[in-house]
């Protein structure tokens, strides 16, 4: 009983560290907005896995079917859609497969920026390109 409680408490605080902790989530179907701007993302079923973490955009590593990828993770509400609930979605570099229902592991590699609201999807798409450039710089200097 004590060990189970200890693990639950540890899991609540582990995300506040910038260590090598791999987190996981199941990929679910999103609303399709990222696809419309030609930047499809993986949407995750449990944004609470990042509870206590700062909302915003991060460079990240992912493990999908034992292969490591790099990407840009967003944690927070989709302000452009006037949503209030936090979500986790990841744009994965060099990846274009549908993997709904699969478990994906990810690790934060560095904070890029706070959430922003955009007036339109073109502005969001331009920002995503900048975020990708920043993420690549961060990931190049970070160990997997």
Distance CA 105, CA 63 (A): 5
Contact 118, 79 (CB under 8 A): yes
Strand stretches in the chain, DSSP E:
23-28, 42-44, 56-64, 67-76, 87-92, 103-113
Determine whether domain 21-140 maps to CATH 1.10.287.3510: no
Q: What pLDDT is stored for residue 80 in this prediction?
A: 78
Confidence of residue 3 (pLDDT cuts 50, 70, 90): very low
Query: Where do the structural domains in the chain lie, given as residue ranges?
Result: 21-140
The pLDDT tens digits for 76-135 are: 998 877 888 999 999 999 998 999 999 999 999 999 999 999 888 888 889 999 999 999
- Specify the length of the chain in residues: 144
User: pLDDT of 11-49, one tens digit each?
Assistant: 433 444 455 799 999 999 877 656 655 568 899 999 999
pTM (two decimals): 0.82
pLDDT of residue 22: 95
DSSP states along 3-29: HHHHHHHHHHHGGGS-S---EEEEEE-
DSSP helix/strand/coil, 87: strand
What is the C-alpha separation between 39 and 87, in angstroms, rounded?
16
pLDDT of residue 35: 60
pLDDT score of 34: 62
């Amino acid at each position: 009983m004590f060990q189970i409680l200890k693990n639950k408490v540890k899991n609540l605080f582990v995300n506040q560290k910038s260590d090598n902790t791999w987190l996981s989530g199941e990929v679910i179907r999103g609303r399709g907005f990222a696809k419309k701007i030609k930047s499809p993302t993986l949407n995750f079923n449990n944004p609470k896995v990042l509870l206590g973490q700062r909302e915003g955009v991060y460079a990240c590593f992912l493990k999908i079917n034992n292969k490591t990828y790099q990407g840009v993770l967003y944690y927070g509400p989709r302000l452009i859609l006037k949503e209030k609930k936090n979500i986790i979605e990841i744009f994965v570099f060099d990846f274009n497969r549908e993997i709904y229902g699969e478990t994906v592991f990810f690790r934060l590699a560095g904070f890029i920026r706070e959430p922003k609201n955009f007036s339109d999807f073109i502005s969001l798409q331009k920002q995503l390109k900048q975020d990708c450039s920043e993420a690549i710089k961060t990931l190049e200097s970070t160990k997997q």
